[in-house]
Homo-oligomer: A and B are copies of this chain.
């Protein structure tokens, strides 16, 4: 429940937890700080947790012009300055993972450990086309169409079926939310900001301990793309949640929370067998 000014914009963030390793959580594209509500208690039990809305997300400022990932990367750096944290553990999911990995490349000394959840190292030509589809539907202004073409695809067949009532609630809420043209224009800009992203040839530069978290049925960042991370980042661990789609944090919340908090709290000395 705090804000700071960054390049003339307002950035909204939340602090939870009194002590322990700092943990910064970076949102996926269609998320905001409120999306992490179910995780706050576990993420902050042994950690100083910070949630943050990127520009064009949640309660942070809206943008008016097109932009790229670079402004969000600088925002993360300004956030750490604002908090007075020299280093932090950073977990980013999807879009947030894209920003997280680039932050670790740009500011390697400030990242203690990196967790990349359902996230790749590039926006492949295929994923760009998927994004074009979202924006084409957004341009039509139809909330129902936007919901139906963006949201079901991020869940697994299994989860969707086992959580039918929850999904109906999501559909009602999000369809209304997406029926707001201002929301669709924000999501379109966020989608466009990912267009030229590709750090696949820089993965060897990542030097902090890294955990890669995938869903076996992730329809947006498929296993082959996440495998690129494992092969490129020295010493990384690649974990797959079975029978899970793109939204692993909702499909298996306990496993997700265990991974994030467990990894953030490992000792500095590392483990050598």
Contact = CB atoms under 8 A, between A and B. Distances in A.
Q: Number of copies of this chain in the oligomer?
A: 4
Q: Secondary structure at chain A's binding surface: helix, strand, loop or mixed? A: helix
Contacts of A155: 126
Nearest to A130: B152
B160 A271 contact: no
A137 interface: yes
A11 interface: no
A266 interface: yes
A265 B160 contact: no
B253 A230 contact: no
Contact of A133 (B124, B125, B148, B157): B148
Interface stretch (A96-104, A179-187, A218-226): A218-226
A183 to B, nearest CB: 18
Nearest to A240: B240
Contacts of A177: none
A136 B142 contact: yes
A254 interface: yes
Contact of A149 (B149, B243, B265, B270): B149
A268 B211 CA distance: 25
A25 interface: no
A210 to B, nearest CB: 9
A224 B243 contact: yes
Contacts of A265: 45-46, 258, 261-262
Contact of A254 (B216, B227, B252, B266): B266
A8 interface: no
A39 B149 CA distance: 32
A30 to B, nearest CB: 15
23 contacts: A41-B267, A45-B265, A45-B267, A125-B164, A129-B160, A133-B145, A133-B149, A133-B152, A136-B142, A136-B148, A136-B149, A137-B137, A137-B149, A153-B219, A156-B224, A219-B219, A238-B242, A239-B255, A240-B241, A254-B266, A258-B259, A258-B265, A259-B259
Interface of A: 38-39, 41-42, 45-46, 124-127, 129-130, 132-133, 136-137, 140, 142, 144-145, 148-149, 152-153, 155-158, 160-161, 164, 166, 209, 211, 214, 216-217, 219, 222-225, 227, 230, 237-243, 249-250, 252-255, 257-263, 265-267, 269-273
Given A127-B157, A219-B219, A255-B263, 6 more contacts: A126-B160, A129-B152, A136-B149, A157-B225, A250-B273, A259-B262
